[in-house]
Structure 1
């Protein structure tokens, strides 16, 4: 690759698609984003229109290609990143019979609960690395089988959103190992569809895309799309991977002991391993990055959403003015000592995924006394999110991972206090990349490896510059060391009460 050779990465997200042009150093030459709606006419459903997403891909990719043409830079390849767990039913012509069910769709909750309680479900998890949860296409297919026989019988293909895009562009059905390994249908050890999982759903492998490596190159872009995009039909398109595993690559968290943590609305903890690894207790996922590298970890539901809830409901009197309300809340929290004088917050406002995988969990303030005020509550919320992230780290440790350093990204990194709380609770160094590119840059790096520009990913950690570093405060860590086991025990002990309360809340909701 010469200095002007560029790789364009397309990142298909839950709320928008972004395209960006990178060189091997991570410099962005051009970028474009297009949002689209999430449809939720029924509370348990969270869907998107495949056509709207495809048009967003075409629009953002066209924008970036045009910018590169003006800069006279040669595009060497296009690569893809995508959100996981989507599912679309297609007819024989490849026309969608359904919208795209996203990871947030909960209609298969009962099917997940029933399967999770069986030895069959546990066996499928151990082979596929996908926790039994309504997010997974495995469980969504069970829902279609039982609840929508008409669509189930008509469907000629079942695909995710990235596979749908590749079908539209190339007329072929392929799925990368990474996205496939997030379906609950893909055997991590054979790198093929799992026979028992397929038998359970009743869907033959012929109705699924062909699994291919994440570095698979596809050429032969259909003529009309090539003309619309301004690209040659024989330009290499790299199939790419899921946004989660590519985020590790994009922030340089690929060495043993280096863990990537991100907190936006939700959060995630991930690290790279050299062999498929699952958790005997079913708390962690394991997804493919390449044929010989895998990412294990877990997502949490409640990250920045908990802080926003605290702003809106604990501080409803706060008026946004010249001062950032989050900075004001952080300042109030900084007036309280670590540990919030023994006040704990379980941040389960939207249920929880890792390591609990329990949609019935609820938010809880535990330990309130007359000495606590709103400052304690806001700090407890910030600490509660980090305690939950650390619970995923603790599960990783039990599987044999030895975390030594954490590379962290997301909106929470704007807060010096929150970053320090993480370092103190995790009791490890926290590194904040200077300009985190995340999944998009990861997709570009994957393409560079596919084209032979990079022999391996050993130099990626050096490419990603670190902007902030935090070391643990021993005094604060000692306080958190006493609180962590109490926090982790609470959710387990409250499990039956969470379930009972959920039933009451559903009943009350139906009567309103």
Structure 2
């Protein structure tokens, strides 16, 4: 049986997933790694640790699979990462990831400059500390010695491909999320590079997501137990490929992902940037653009609550050999929709869309004597979905009405959380049979690159639907009363958020 491996280099783990050519998962391997926070607002990872995870995950899948060697390996990767490397490709820095907000001051400066709006309109990337544009501006002033030694500024996926093949290439999809790439001309943006005082030589060569490389170097093929001439397809970004892998590629379809972070995305045949600068416009392929907005505060917020306030559930779950999130969700279900007026602003990591304000912070609002810990759990889950809903509203204003939501990411395993999504958006929510949408999206791009399929729209034949959820109108009305307050709180607290960050 022919099969292809999709690699998903994520924020907290790398997954290697073997798919047959009908999209069925044959086997998979996930390897986790930590996020390093050496200082407040810093979020980094060890690039060599992630590279090793890529090698080991591929090796594990190759060994486990009973079929012959794969027809190819295709990649998905998290966006917005930056590594400075020297002339030998050795990292001079850790991998600075999307969650890092140390460059907030520089992002604000660029955004408010004469060319800030034009850079956004040409690159499709909102100017925010998540983007490499802002990160590199910060590095110019705060890492001068390292910048002077830097041969290239690259992403995590570029590092992997350089190690494997000795060439610096970046796919249009990852490039389109840097804030430095013109999504219309498919070239590095001159205004962005001028702000950074660098030229194209400091960056990789942009190529199509279907770009194929062969000839693995340095014995890595032997380690992975794979043929050295196995085609490796560059692929795209995890967010764009999640839409593809979920089959959310038709007009009126939206993919909503909640993993560590979260996003709302739709696909268009052309870029559609927002004059209010609320949404992104990234490249999936040369003929497909993914429009939407990301949020920082997804499942990581639920994990924060679990790790810091749920020792009883953690121990009970261990005794019962179940996931502690199941117990916490059960407690949330004991509270009615709307949490009896308790509202949670989930901005523990600042926020990206739609406000693009790294100063935002978390708030429980409306606490009264009747509220219990279970109310706090439910309000937290509702607050995360409210943040996603804020993006959905902005996206509909720019791109048109959303009819159906395709839910992906870890939260899609929770019936309660998915029903909450349907109720808040007041729309049908569909769950695909496979939760591995970014990995499947990578596999689909790989099949297109290798001539297995003629166009990516054939994904429709690869994604069977397992569940559908329909909104409860009564719950929607309750949620909207809370949401109106939720939405107003940002404007009322915006200045206070800025002040509190000065003393944290």
Instruction: Decide: shared fold, TM above 0.5.
Output: yes
How far does residue 495 in structure 1 lie from its aligned partner after superposition? 0.6
Q: Which of 232, 242, 257 matches 1:237?
A: 232
Three-state SS of the structure 1 residue aligned to 2:495 is: helix
Three-state SS of the structure 2 residue aligned to 1:106 is: coil
How far does residue 62 in structure 1 lie from its aligned partner after superposition? 2.6
Match of 1:509 in 2: none
How far does residue 314 in structure 1 lie from its aligned partner after superposition? 6.2
Match of 1:510 in 2: none
User: In structure 2, do the counterparts of structure 1 residues 373 and 92 end up closer, same or farther at CA, with 3 Å as the change threshold?
Assistant: closer
Matched, 1:487 2:486: yes
How far does residue 318 in structure 1 lie from its aligned partner after superposition? 5.4
Give the TM-score taking structure 2 as reference length: 0.93
Cα distance in 2 for residues equivalent to 1:327 and 1:98:
38
> What pairs with 1:400-439 in structure 2 (closer than 5 Å)?
400-439=399-438
Match of 1:382 in 2: 381
Three-state SS of the structure 1 residue aligned to 2:456 is: coil
> What pairs with 1:464-475 in structure 2 (closer than 5 Å)?
464-475=463-474
Cα distance in 1 for residues equivalent to 2:333 and 2:53:
42
Q: Which of 124, 127, 140 matches 1:129?
A: 124
Match of 2:36 in 1: 39
Contact 1:314-1:374 within 8 A present in 2 as well: no
Three-state SS of the structure 2 residue aligned to 1:320 is: helix
How far does residue 113 in structure 1 lie from its aligned partner after superposition? 2.2
Match of 2:391 in 1: 392
Match of 1:250 in 2: 245
Deviation by residue 1:394-446 (Cα, 9 ceiling, x = unmatched):
01011123211111123333333222221111010011222212211111110
Match of 1:154 in 2: 149
Cα distance in 2 for residues equivalent to 1:50 and 1:292:
31
User: In structure 2, do the counterparts of structure 1 residues 466 and 360 end up closer, same or farther at CA, with 3 Å as the change threshold?
Assistant: same
After TM superposition, the structure 1 stretch with the greater mean CA deviation from structure 2, 238-247 or 453-462, is 453-462
Q: Which of 17, 23, 32 matches 1:26?
A: 23
Compute the RMSD of aligned alpha carbons: 2.2
How far does residue 351 in structure 1 lie from its aligned partner after superposition? 1.6
Match of 2:47 in 1: 50
User: In structure 2, do the counterparts of structure 1 residues 334 and 170 end up closer, same or farther at CA, with 3 Å as the change threshold?
Assistant: closer
Contact 2:69-2:226 within 8 A present in 1 as well: no
User: In structure 2, do the counterparts of structure 1 residues 51 and 499 end up closer, same or farther at CA, with 3 Å as the change threshold?
Assistant: same
Give the TM-score taking structure 1 as reference length: 0.92
Deviation by residue 1:216-263 (Cα, 9 ceiling, x = unmatched):
112233363334334333332211111111111112111221111122
Match of 2:136 in 1: 141
Contact 1:240-1:446 within 8 A present in 2 as well: yes
Unaligned regions of 5+ residues in structure 1, if any? 507-512
Three-state SS of the structure 1 residue aligned to 2:345 is: strand
How far does residue 469 in structure 1 lie from its aligned partner after superposition? 1.3
Match of 2:61 in 1: 64
After TM superposition, the structure 1 stretch with the greater mean CA deviation from structure 2, 285-294 or 342-351, is 342-351
After TM superposition, the structure 1 stretch with the greater mean CA deviation from structure 2, 367-376 or 439-448, is 367-376
Cα distance in 2 for residues equivalent to 1:302 and 1:502:
17
How far does residue 325 in structure 1 lie from its aligned partner after superposition? 4.8
Contact 2:76-2:238 within 8 A present in 1 as well: yes
How far does residue 56 in structure 1 lie from its aligned partner after superposition? 2.2
Cα distance in 1 for residues equivalent to 2:161 and 2:306:
42
Match of 1:357 in 2: 356
Contact 1:275-1:293 within 8 A present in 2 as well: yes
Cα distance in 2 for residues equivalent to 1:265 and 1:187:
28
Cα distance in 2 for residues equivalent to 1:240 and 1:293:
14
Contact 1:133-1:357 within 8 A present in 2 as well: yes
Count of residue pairs brought into register by the alignment: 500
How far does residue 287 in structure 1 lie from its aligned partner after superposition? 1.2
Unaligned regions of 5+ residues in structure 2, if any? none
Contact 1:250-1:436 within 8 A present in 2 as well: no
Three-state SS of the structure 2 residue aligned to 1:240 is: strand
Cα distance in 2 for residues equivalent to 1:220 and 1:61:
16
Three-state SS of the structure 2 residue aligned to 1:241 is: strand
How far does residue 60 in structure 1 lie from its aligned partner after superposition? 2.1
Match of 2:495 in 1: 496
Cα distance in 1 for residues equivalent to 2:287 and 2:373:
49
Cα distance in 2 for residues equivalent to 1:415 and 1:38:
25
Contact 1:348-1:362 within 8 A present in 2 as well: yes
User: In structure 2, do the counterparts of structure 1 residues 463 and 109 end up closer, same or farther at CA, with 3 Å as the change threshold?
Assistant: same
Match of 1:344 in 2: 343
